[in-house]
């Protein structure tokens, strides 16, 4: 795994927050290098503790800026979720034999990148802080970094997944697939950088309603959810819309803001 490279693409337009993000990147890179160099367990435990401490400090600083944002509480919930997960990782590592798995590193690195690149930039932009003069500059730099937006398709019908995959990959999205809600949650746990989920409602094991509920209650990163369904039953559509999802049914888009 390579180091996290800072880019102006990550800038939110506030010097203090940008400095803290850079510091988080630097601490994460120390962890990546420590694992690759086979350092002692005590050293890696210290780095994990530093990540947790500095992240909590950063969150407290950041939250002061966007208290007026309408989704302030949701953003704070995302922060608390990450802290809880980071504590679990640190405690689990302390009880282990000394190895830190690639999966743990992937989670921490992907969460940091997706949180800073997508969530924070969007939040501060909505509050009036801008790094880019126009959207084209942002899109251009994203392309140069080779960053693809990750999308998860959840549908128990293979043909439907294949069709959606073809459409999304043609638009240069990075596509993952799940056959049901249970598989989708496992994939979300492994890939914290998923930005969109396209899901059916009627699936065995765990239907789309339950999947959406769990994602909204338990997720530690933001994800836009689009429901694609042939259900034309009014109550079901209202139930999905009440959770703030976009519905695509019978060639119509509807949305509750």
Q: Is 152 exposed, middle or buried (0-12, 13-18, 19+ CB in 10 A)?
A: buried
Give 67-110 pLDDT, tens digit per residue: 888 888 888 888 998 888 888 888 888 887 666 677 777 788 88
Torsion-angle region of 127 (φ positive above 0: left; ψ -120 to 50: alpha; else: beta): alpha
Per-residue pLDDT band for 249 (boundaries 50, 70, 90) equals very low
The Cβ-side half-sphere exposure at 57, using a 13 Å CA radius, reads: 12
Q: Is the pTM of this model over 0.85?
A: no
The answer to whether residue 140 scores a pLDDT higher than 60 is no
Task: Please state, in angstroms and as integers, the Cα–Cα distance from residue 152 to each residue in 104, 179, 210, following that order.
Answer: 20, 11, 16
Query: Do residues 193 and 114 make contact, with C-beta atoms less than 8 angstroms apart?
Result: yes
The mean pLDDT value of the chain amounts to 77
Instruction: Find out whether 29 and 6 touch, Cβ atoms under 8 Å.
Output: no
Which pLDDT belongs to residue 222?
64
pLDDT average, residue stretch 5-33: 84
* Burial environment of residue 100 by CB neighbours within 10 A (0 to 12, 13 to 18, 19 or more): buried
d(CA 12, CA 19): 10
Residues facing 150 on adjacent strands: 174, 194
Domain 8-139: give its CATH code.
1.20.120.50
User: Where does the pLDDT of residue 177 fall: very low under 50, low under 70, confident under 90, or very high at 90 and above?
Assistant: very high
Kindly state the helix (H) or strand (E) to which residue 76 belongs, with its residue range.
helix 72-95
- What is the CATH T-level fold of the domain 148-255, as seen in this structure? Rossmann fold (3.40.50)
Place of tokens 């009036």: 128
Positive or negative, the Cα torsion across 85, 86, 88, 89? Answer: positive
φ, ψ dihedrals at 174, nearest 5°: -90, 115
Q: Which is more confidently placed, 143 or 51? A: 51
Closest alpha carbon to 71 in 79, 246, 195, 116: 79
Residue 143 confidence (pLDDT) above 60: no
Beta bridge partners of 153: 177, 198
Reported as half-sphere exposure (CB side, CA atoms, 13 A), residue 92 has a value of: 11
pLDDT classification of 13: cutoffs 50, 70, 90: confident
* Angstrom distance (rounded) from CA 209 to CA 227: 10
Identify which has the larger pLDDT, 250 or 223. Answer: 223
Domain ranges of the chain: 8-139, 148-255
């Amino acid at each position: 795994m390579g180091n996290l490279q800072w880019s102006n693409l990550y800038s939110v337009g506030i010097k203090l927050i940008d400095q803290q993000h850079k510091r988080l990147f630097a601490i994460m890179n120390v962890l990546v290098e420590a694992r690759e160099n086979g350092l002692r367990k005590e050293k890696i435990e210290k780095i994990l503790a530093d990540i947790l401490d500095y992240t909590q400090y950063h969150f407290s600083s950041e939250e002061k800026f966007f208290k007026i944002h309408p989704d302030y509480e949701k953003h704070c919930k995302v922060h608390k979720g990450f802290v809880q997960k980071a504590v679990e990782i640190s405690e689990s590592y302390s009880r282990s034999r000394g190895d830190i798995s690639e999966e743990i590193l992937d989670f921490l690195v992907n969460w940091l990148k997706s949180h800073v690149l997508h969530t924070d930039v969007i939040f501060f932009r909505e509050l009036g802080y801008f790094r880019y003069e126009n959207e084209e500059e942002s899109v251009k730099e994203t392309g140069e970094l080779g960053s693809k937006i990750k999308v998860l398709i959840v549908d128990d019908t293979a043909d439907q997944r294949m069709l959606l995959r073809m459409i999304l990959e043609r638009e240069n999205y990075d596509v993952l697939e799940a056959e049901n809600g249970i598989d989708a949650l496992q994939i979300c746990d492994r890939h914290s950088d998923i930005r969109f989920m396209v899901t059916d409602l009627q699936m065995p094991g765990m239907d789309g309603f339950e999947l959406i509920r769990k994602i909204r209650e338990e997720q530690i990163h933001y994800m836009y959810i689009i429901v694609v369904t042939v259900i034309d039953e009014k109550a079901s559509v209202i139930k999905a819309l009440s959770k703030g999802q976009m519905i695509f049914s019978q060639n119509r888009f509807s949305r509750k803001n």
